[in-house]
Amino acid sequence: MNTIGTDLLPFYKFAAEYAAVGIHAIDIKGKTILYNQKMKEIEGFDYEELVDRSLLEMFRFEHHESTLLQVLQSGKAVLNVKQTYWNRKGQEITTINDTYPVFSDGNLIGAIEMSQDVTTLEKVVYQPLKKYEEPITFSSITAISASMKRVIGTAEKAATMKLPVLLIGESGTGKELIAESIHWASSSNDLFYTLYCHGTDGDLINRMQEDLAGKQGATVFCERIDLLPWPLQARLLEMVKEGSMSDTYFIASVGEDPVELIASKKLMKELYYFFSAITIQIEPVRNRKEDIMPFVADYLSRHRMRFGSVVEGLTPEVAELFLAYDWPGNLKELELLLDDVTSLLTTEALISADLLPQHFKSKMLDKDAQNPEDFLVHSGKDLIPLDDYLQEAEAYYLKKALDHHSGNITKAAAALGMSRQNLQYRLRKIKKNEAQT
Ligand SMILES: Nc1ncnc2c1ncn2[C@@H]1O[C@H](COP(=O)(O)OP(=O)(O)OP(=O)(O)O)[C@@H](O)[C@H]1O
Distance CA 133, CA 137 (A): 12
Cβ atoms 93, 227 nearer than 8 A:
no
Closest residue by CA, ligand 1 atom 16: 174
Task: Determine whether 218 is exposed, middle or buried from the number of CB atoms within 10 Å of its CB (0-12, 13-18, 19+).
Answer: buried
Alpha carbon of 353 to ligand 1 centroid (Å): 25
Instruction: Tell me the residue type at 45.
Output: F
Domains of the chain: 14-117 (3.30.450.20), 121-283 (3.40.50.300), 287-365 (1.10.8.60), 384-436 (1.10.10)
Q: Quick one: pLDDT band at residue 129, thresholds 50, 70, 90?
A: very low
Q: Mean pLDDT across the stretch 117-145? A: 74
Record the pTM.
0.73
User: Does residue 177 line the site of ligand 1, with CB under 6 A?
Assistant: yes
Residue 125 has pLDDT above 80, yes or no: no
Closest residue by CA, ligand 1 atom 7: 174
ipTM for the assembly:
0.96
Closest residue by CA, ligand 1 atom 24: 171
Our separate counts of H helices and E strands in the chain read 19, 12
Helix (H) or strand (E) holding 97: strand 92-104
From the alpha carbon of 91, which atom of ligand 1 is closest? Answer: 26
Closest residue by CA, ligand 1 atom 13: 332
From the alpha carbon of 127, which atom of ligand 1 is closest? Answer: 29
Task: Determine whether 113 is exposed, middle or buried from the number of CB atoms within 10 Å of its CB (0-12, 13-18, 19+).
Answer: buried
Distance CA 68, CA 103 (A): 14
Alpha carbon of 141 to ligand 1 centroid (Å): 9
Alpha carbon of 300 to ligand 1 centroid (Å): 16
The pLDDT value given to residue 63:
41
User: Does residue 331 line the site of ligand 1, with CB under 6 A?
Assistant: yes
Instruction: Name residues whose C-beta falls within 8 Å of residue 192's C-beta, 6 or more positions apart in sequence.
Output: 179, 180, 183, 184, 218, 219, 221
Closest residue by CA, ligand 1 atom 15: 174
The region that residue 406 occupies, defined by phi over 0 for left and psi between -120 and 50 for alpha, beta otherwise, is: left
Measured CA angle at 173 (ends 170, 175), to 5 deg: 95
Residue 368 has pLDDT above 90, yes or no: no
CA 90 to centroid of chain Cα atoms: 5
| pLDDT, tens only, 51-107 | 555 555 544 544 445 788 888 889 999 998 888 777 777 777 888 999 999 999 999
Measured between alpha carbons, how far apart are the two ends of the chain, in Å?
60
Distance CA 247, CA 236 (A): 16
Mutate to test the pocket of ligand 1, among 331, 336, 337 (most ligand atoms within 8 A of CB): 331
Distance CA 249, CA 165 (A): 9
Closest residue by CA, ligand 1 atom 29: 332
Cβ atoms 355, 389 nearer than 8 A:
no
Mutate to test the pocket of ligand 1, among 137, 283, 332 (most ligand atoms within 8 A of CB): 332
User: Does residue 332 line the site of ligand 1, with CB under 6 A?
Assistant: yes
Closest residue by CA, ligand 1 atom 9: 174
Alpha carbon of 332 to ligand 1 centroid (Å): 5
| pLDDT, tens only, 323-365 | 999 898 899 999 989 998 998 888 889 999 989 987 787 677 6
Distance CA 330, CA 392 (A): 30
- Return the closest-CA partner of residue 16 out of 119, 76, 102, 77: 102
Residue 240 has pLDDT above 50, yes or no: yes
Cβ atoms 237, 252 nearer than 8 A:
no
